[in-house]
Structure formats: structure tokens, C-alpha cells
Chain A
Amino acid sequence: MTRLAFVVAAMAVIVLVYLWRVFQMQVLEGSLYELRARQTVQRVEPVFAQRGLIYDRTVQEPVATNRTSFALTLVAADIPAGQQDEVVTLLAELLGRDRGGIDARLRSTRRGSFQPVEIASGLTLAQINGVAERIDRLPGVSWYSKPERIYPDGALLSNVLGYVGDITPQELQILFNEGYTATSILGKSGVEQRYDQLLRGTDGRRFRVVDARGRYVGEDQRLVAPEQGDDLVLTLDRRLQDLASQALGSRIGSVVAMRPGTGEVLAMVTYPRFNPNAFAGPDGQQAIRALSLDRRAPFLNRPTQAAASPASTFKIVMSAAVLGENAFSPTEEILCTGTFPFGNRVFNDWLEYGHGQMNLAGALAQSCNVYYYTMGAQHLSVDQIIDYSFRLGLGTRTGIDLGGEVEGLVPSPAWKEQALNQRWVGGDTVNMSIGQGYLQVTPLQMAVMLSTIVNGGTVYQPQVLREVRNPVTGGILQRNQPVVVRESGIDPEILRTVREHLRGVLTDGTAEVVITTSAVESAGKTGTGQIGVEGQFHSWFVAYAPYGDHVPRSEQIVLVVMVDAVNEWEWWAPKAANIILHGYFRDLDYDAAVADLRRGPRWLWYM
């Protein structure tokens, strides 16, 4: 009888323990398993939103658009153990890609994960068809349409537009809360990066139920529709951009064109450039890496990211300071002998035997160094020069809506003390008076400076975004208004005088022989920056047109051309400006503008 009791007890224990275990699984932790069951059978796929298109200010053809392409995903859990190698090899063969890349993508997921991982993108329909034919040997492989970014103009606007790419794990770490996922496409630079939130739209989701072999079962696919990203209209003028980039040609440097009355950027050219279309597809990463190693820095947006000595173009700031501070009478003359002894140094003029008697207008027109040396040494304090530099927008970021802008450098005694641990000497002020020494400006800052002179004293923030438009209706969602950074506080009459002097540069000054265009009356200033290497100079030209007090602001443009010292074509900046002004105001493209200029009125040698 005790044995019977023992067996009954043993049976009772088994039944009760099992019952408790099932109770625990189904009732106490049921929801946990339910979730797991749902995750097991449900696959979520992104339905990518169409990224917003980008237009230039004419809103005709988009400068950034999308093309249908496909991405391939793999669910690691669906590959039977030991077959992974086989699957990857076959995929690499079908896609014609390196299997190392696929392996790397696959390694980023946990073995046995049911979460699909993207292993290749930018695929054509033909490639997908090839995969589809062999799908029985490719367990866990699936695909979806993933729009690919295309830039119809290639490299032309790359420095402004930027490019897009797959989000990196590091970027995801930062942007996780903004709604990005591991499969997101992200703007990596330029407008694409700055306005990513507007352009990206909202990705949709497709929920599908799959069986153990990854086959789709059931018709009920739940679809959360994607929301298309907003279209952007830029302030840039594609034709002017094209003209300017051809005028600059294959010379390292930059061109900026801007509306002085609003801060709208009409053209922003850099050279060398990159072609963002090369970054799509399997060799994209390699292309990016190769360009990153290029010593000429094609990723550098020189107008905002490369600062250099402004050279003689800084004399515009000096003239404004002389007039504004009543430091020296504009009619009084100074004798330029070609040399300026100061302390134990002798500063030279670029014209060996001097310009003779010079007043302020003449000094600017002839770019007389000795006159400005004298101003810096005897009539203006360094603090006044610094003050006018900052008032006109130098030494600070312009605030343009593109990332990575540098602020340049307006040196000061305090700065020198701190950075170089040297005392500021009078020679530093003399050097700074002709835009040499430690002074560093970006071409865009020069455009802002000249715009402030032209518009009567308001520093505007340069902008590249003009409008945000609804992608479906085309309605304007947002219209960008000019942003005032500061009022310079310089008397408009003084600025008018400076403008007259700038006109003098073109009528009977240093640029007279170069700016031959009859299309428009312009005013401006040349600059040749020493970089310490014999025979090599930065070539600057800053100008605006049309010249005149009664010209509507909305027709004026400020143009800055800067050609880097590494180029052998000295003096190219004013020549390029001549072509750009002629082409822009005659509405001609580069070739026609050059041909037209060759016809006269004055003949000038062009490339």
C-alpha cells in the first residue's frame, strides 16, 4: 500500500508540475510569448518615402530627383545552419558583387534574428529578376523598392546640394529619436543634410505574415502608407551656376553670386567638385573614400570652407573705415614712392616706383598700398579696423544654411597674444591694412561684405533655401524671408562714396583693362594675395552690378571670384568675373558670352 501511495504521489507531482508550468507559460507569461509568436510570423518592411525633389529658383527641371531601384534584404533566422556560405556566394554571383560586402552587412545582425537586414541596395529590376528566379535556393531573401537619389546636373551643384547615403550606426545613435531607422537614407552634406527633415518624408511600413520558410501567406498585408518628402526650391540659379562654373573652369577656387538686398545666393561654385551620382551603387563607398584622399579636397565647399587672405579687396573695408571714422580727408593726397618704411621694416607697394600723389578714390582705384599703409600706421587704430571688419560681416560665420562653414580670422592684439604668444606690433596693423598678414576670409564673407556696402549697410544672412513646397499640390508651405544679421551702423552716404570709389576701379583703375563687358555697368575691386611663395598669388575679384543709385535692388548681383594660388593663371579672377557678368546680363551661356566678348568693344585674351 505504501508503494501505491508512492506511485500516486509521483504521478500527482508530474501532473501538477506540468500543469503549473503550462499555467505559467500561458496565463502568467502568455503575453510575452504572444508577442514573440507575432514577431516570429510578422515581417515588417519599410516602404520608403519618395525623397523631396530640389529645384533651382526657376522651378523648371529638378536638380535632385529620384530613380526607382531595389534593395535586397535577408532574414538571418531563415537561413538553415551551415548554408549561409552557400547563400552568400550565390547572391554575390547573381548580383555581380563582392561577397565580402554582403558578409559584412550580414555580420551586423545577430545570428538567428528575424529582423531583415539590408544586404545590397541600388539594384536594377534585372538583378532582382535574377534573384527571383533562384529564390528557392535563397531562403530568407527578399526585396523592396528603394528610391535612389539622382542629380541630373552631376557635379555642378554638388557642393550646395550635398549627397545622401545609408545611415551609419554612429549617425543612428545620434538621430534615433528623430524617427530614423537602420535602413534610413540620410543627407550627408549640403542641402540634403541641412534640410533632411523636410526632404525625407515619413517612411511607410508594410506588415506581412510569413510562414516558417519565409514565404508570404495570407492576403492581409497591413500597409502604413509613406508620406512623400517636401520639395525644396533653392535661391540658386542653375544657368548662372553653370556659367560661373565654366568661367572658373578647372582652376581651384570659388565663385559666389548673391543678391545684395536679400542675401539670396544665386550661384556658389567650387572647384574641384565631386559627382554625387558616383556614390550610389556598389562602388559608392569606394568612390567616397577615393575622393576623401584626393589632396585637392573635392569635398571642400570652398566658398564657405576655405578662408584666405583677402589681399587688396580688404581695402574696401579700409576705405569705409577711413570715411566712417573721419580719420583722413578723402580729398587729401599722400605721395606714394613705392616704399613705406615703418619701424625697422620697409613695406613695398606692388608698383615698384610708386603711384605718385594719391587721394582715397585714387588709392582704391589703383590699389595703392602705401596710401593704406599710411592709414593703418598713422590714422586708424587697429581696433577701428577690426571694428569695421566685424561690422561688415568678416570674422564671423555668415550663417548660411549649409553646414561646415568656417569663420575665418580677423586678428587682434589679444588674439595674437593668446594664439601665438607674441605681442601685436605696428607692422601687423600695417600689413592688415592691405589685407595681408593673419587676416583670413571666405569668399562668401567677402560677398556679404560687399553686399552690405551695396545695400546701404545691412548685413544679411546668405540663404540657399527659397521655398518649401508641397510635393503633391505644389503649394508653397514656407517662403524664406531675408534675415538681417546686423545693421552695420555705417552712414549710407559714406557707403555711397565707397561705391563711387569702387566704380572708379573699373573706369580708371586696376580692373579697367580686364572688365570689358558692355552689358552692364559694374563696380568692384581686384585683389592679389601673397602666399609667401614667389610668383604665386591668390587672385580675387569682388564686384557688383549694375552700378548706380537708382537700380532696383532685386536686379543687382554681388559677385566674388577667388582663384587659388596653386593655379598658374594669374589674374584669372577678374577675367572670369567679366565673362560671368557679360553672360548673366546678356543672358548668354559661357561659350556665347566668350564669343561675344571676343567681338569687342575691346579685345581681351581668353583661354
Chain B
Amino acid sequence: MAMVRSRSIFELDLYIAFSAISLLVIGIMFIFSSGVAATGQVVSTEYLRQILWASTGLVIMFLITFTDYRIFERTAVLLYLMMIVLLILTLMFGRIVNGARRWIGIAGFGGQPSEFMKIALLILLARYYSNRLGRARSLVVFLGGLGLTLLPTMLVLLQPDLGSAMVYIPIFLVVAFFSGARPAHIGFLVATGLLFLLFTVIPFWQEHLSHRALPAVGVLTDLRALQFLLAGVGLAGLLAGIGLYATRRPVFGWILYSLAVVVIATPMAFAARRFLRDYQIMRLVVFVDPYIDPQGAGWNIIQSITAIGSGGVAGKGYLQGTQSHFQYLPAQSTDFIFSILAEEWGFLGVLLVFALFVVIFVRSLYVMVSAREHFAAFLVAGVLALFVVHFTINIGMTIGMMPVTGLPLLLLSFGGSSVWTALIGLGLVMSVYQHRYQY
């Protein structure tokens, strides 16, 4: 036993540790860069705080690495419930930052529970599915996992924090996928989600972008038309149900499946349009064409794309970016850190950062495969999902391929909670690796 333990200390997953530290250093460099004004003065001390959080986060990461991850399996429900309570407390007493009630703390010490909720959620889901190994294909288990995910999703949507909410569901989907859930269930959720988004955006798209009124769109906006649509779909569903019952042919099953997607997505979109705030709507609209509102909602995308594109192959040089230092780029140290990096280091810098993230992805996959038990594998899958989703949404946003949702790029972006969340997640992965031979 002692023999195994000592060997594993030296066989620390150096790849992940190296990538994480490299990304943290790069992140701090560009947080520093973003705090330099055009005059050359350092106007922000964010980088100092980030150094503090990164170093403490690394300590936490290594502490978790050398902790047996199975302790989290035992405390998963408690952690989850604690975070749910914190989320509720945040909703009630949290400090409002940038129009959302996200931060909670006492006397300057605190953080964003929605970030840490990601870890608690993925631990709970790993435990949930590892306890239901043979039954992962059942609809009940799928719905149970979805329920565990939707509870915190609703709570952060109320803050509102659309970005975090968009992370929880993919984590659930990835964990469920690896634990053997039916692709039809996952597909149903994805299809409903996409259709919901589409139906939400189309009327706004018509309002802001298309100059013609499309009659078909009226179905989505007019309550009476919606009732007729749903009645028609219901009738079709009834007929398909009869067909399925009478003939037992699977094609009727698929018809019902598709109809159900429409039946759920359409009213949801209708409701969402009522609840979405103007700035959120505009973010969706400018995603289609940022030049609709170049000073407002489109500004971020335009400036980010300009910054990245103007970086060229080798970049403008560290601290030499014009878009960033002249304050054109918004939220340079957090959401748009990738833009300033791409502007100053160019395509080569982007390659470096991509390579470091790919190392984390690939190593996590390797750890997941080499894990000796399902809880560990699901845990790693959840962390992997966390990283991939942040990577996809954040970088996609900066290059104009995803709507602006305000999600940090893990390890690079400024922010204590997100740095700690990322490092805790990596700590879990490394702990799984560290303890892969221990029983």
C-alpha cells in the first residue's frame, strides 16, 4: 500500500499540471496586459488578485490530487445540497454585479456559487449514474438526472446567469452519455433545446433583421395561432399513437418523438420570449448580424473579431494591442481574454493556447479510460465536459460563432471562482489518475 502511494506521488499527471500552470501564467500575463491603459500606466491590479487566486487554487488542486476522490462520492449529496442552499441565499442576499445577483460572501470573502455548483453537480451526477449502472437506459433514470440538473439551472437562470445555466445541461448530457443513457433521450433533449432556441430567436430575427413580415412567424407569436398549431400537432400525435398501437411499426414512434419535440419547444419559446430581457434578446439578434447595433449589443462582437483578426500570424506583440489598450474590447480580463491574447500574440499564440487545452482534454480522456471504477470515470467525464463547454462557448463567442453569454475561459480568464472551479476540477481528474491503482 505504502509502496503504491509513494510511486504515485512521483507519477503525478505532469501533462495536466504543466498545461494548467502554463495557462494560468498566460492568463495572468494577459490580465496584466488588459490592465495597461493606452498611456502605458497600469490601471488595474486584477493581475495581482489573479496571482493570489491561481496560487491558492493550485494548492487546493494538489490537495485534492492527493486526496482520495472517493471522499467526494460519499459527500456528493451534502455538497450538492450546500451549493443549492448557497444559490438560494445568493438569490436573496447576493451582491449585484453587472445586473446579476451572482456573488455572495462575508466581509470581502466569498465567490460565485454558480461556479462551484458545476463541481458539485458533476460529482453528484457521477455518483447518481455509478449507482444506477444497469438502468441508465431507462427513462426514469434519465429524468432523475435531468431533474438534479434543472434545479440549479433554474436557480442560476433567476440570477440571471445564462452562461452557467448553459454549462450545467451539457455536463449532465456528457455524463449521461458515457453512463449509457439512450441516445434517443439525449437526442430528444438536444433537439428540443435547439428548436426552443430557434423558435425563440426567429420572431426577434424577423423584427430586427428581416424587413419583410413572414406570415409563418406569426404562428410563434400569436397566442391563438399557437393554440391551433398545438391542437393540430396534438391531433397528428393522436393519429400516430393509434398507428403505433395498431401496426407496431417504429416509424409511428419517430413521428410521435418529433411531434413531442415541437409540442414542448414551441410553448417554451413562447414563454421564454416573455421572460427574456431586452439585452438578452439583442445578444441573440446581434449574433446573427452584429452590425444591427454596432454601439450596443453588437459592439462586443465587432471589437472582439476586429481585435482577433488584426492580430495576424505573429500578433501585434505583448502589450501592443490597439483594440485592447484603447479600451475598445470590453471585459478584456474576463470574457474576452482570448481576444486580447489573439490580438497580441497572433495565430501562433492561439495555437499555443489551443494546444494546452487539447493536452488537458486528451489527458482527461486518458484518465477517464484508465480509471478503475465508474464513479471515477464519470467524474472525469463531467470535468471534461466542464472544460470543453467553457472552451467552446467562450472562444466561440469571441470569434463570433456563439452568442455572447458571458462565460469565462477557464484558467485564463480573471475571476477567483472560475479559477478555483477549474483547478478543483483538474484536481479531481488528477486525483483519479493518482488513485487509479488503489482499491
A residues bordering B, Cβ < 8 Å?
Answer: 3-4, 6-8, 11, 14-15, 17-19, 21-23, 25-27, 29-34, 36-38, 40-41, 77, 79-81, 112, 209-213, 217-218
Contacts and interface: CB of A to CB of B under 8 A. Distances in A.
Contacts of A14: 388, 391-392
A176 B417 CA distance: 58
30 contacts: A7-B178, A8-B365, A14-B392, A22-B342, A22-B399, A23-B347, A25-B309, A26-B308, A26-B309, A26-B313, A26-B342, A27-B312, A29-B309, A30-B309, A32-B309, A34-B310, A36-B310, A37-B306, A37-B310, A40-B328, A41-B323, A41-B328, A79-B295, A80-B296, A112-B294, A112-B295, A211-B38, A212-B303, A212-B328, A217-B37
B396 A81 contact: no
Given A3-B177, A18-B395, A30 B327 contact: no
Contacts of A211: 38, 326-328
A213 B327 contact: yes
Contacts of A29: 309
Q: Which 5 A-B pairs have the closest CB atoms?
A: A33-B309, A37-B310, A217-B38, A211-B326, A112-B294
B401 interface: yes
Contact of B306 (A4, A8, A33, A213): A33
Given A22-B342, A81-B295, A30 B39 contact: no
Given A37-B309, A41-B326, A217-B38, 19 more contacts: A14-B388, A15-B357, A22-B347, A26-B309, A27-B347, A29-B309, A30-B313, A33-B305, A38-B310, A38-B322, A41-B322, A41-B323, A77-B294, A77-B295, A209-B38, A209-B322, A211-B38, A211-B328, A218-B39
A79 B296 CA distance: 10
B294 A37 contact: no
A105 B396 CA distance: 39
A273 B397 CA distance: 66
Interface string B315-336: 0000000110011100000000
B346 interface: yes
The bracket for how many chain B residues form the interface is: 35 or more
A317 B202 CA distance: 85
Contacts, number: 121
B358 A15 contact: yes
B350 interface: yes
Interface in B333-370: 342, 346-347, 350-351, 354, 357-358, 361, 365, 369
Given A7-B177, A21-B399, A81 B305 contact: no
B228 interface: no
A29 B328 CA distance: 20
Nearest to B389: A14
Contacts of B203: none
**Interface residues of B, dominant DSSP:** helix
B365 A4 contact: yes
A25 B350 CA distance: 12
A81 B296 contact: yes
A212 B396 CA distance: 24
Contacts of B388: 11, 14
B312 A26 contact: yes
Contacts of B429: none
B408 interface: no
A21 B327 contact: no
B174 interface: yes
A276 B57 CA distance: 75
Contacts of A34: 309-310, 312
Contact of A30 (B37, B310, B354): B310
Interface in B172-191: 174, 177-178, 180
B178 A22 contact: no
A509 to B, nearest CB: 80
A74 to B, nearest CB: 14
Interface in B281-315: 291, 293-296, 303, 305-313
A26 B338 CA distance: 13
Contacts of B310: 30, 33-34, 36-38
A217 B326 CA distance: 8
B38 A218 contact: yes
Residue of A17, A37, A80, A210 contacting most chain B CB atoms (<10 Å): A37
Contacts of A212: 303, 326-328
A122 B48 CA distance: 51
Residue of B174, B322, B327 contacting most chain A CB atoms (<10 Å): B322
A18 B401 contact: yes
A36 B396 CA distance: 21
B342 A209 contact: no
Contacts of B350: 19, 22, 26
A216 to B, nearest CB: 9
Contacts of A22: 308, 342, 347, 350, 399
Contacts of B312: 26-27, 30-31, 34
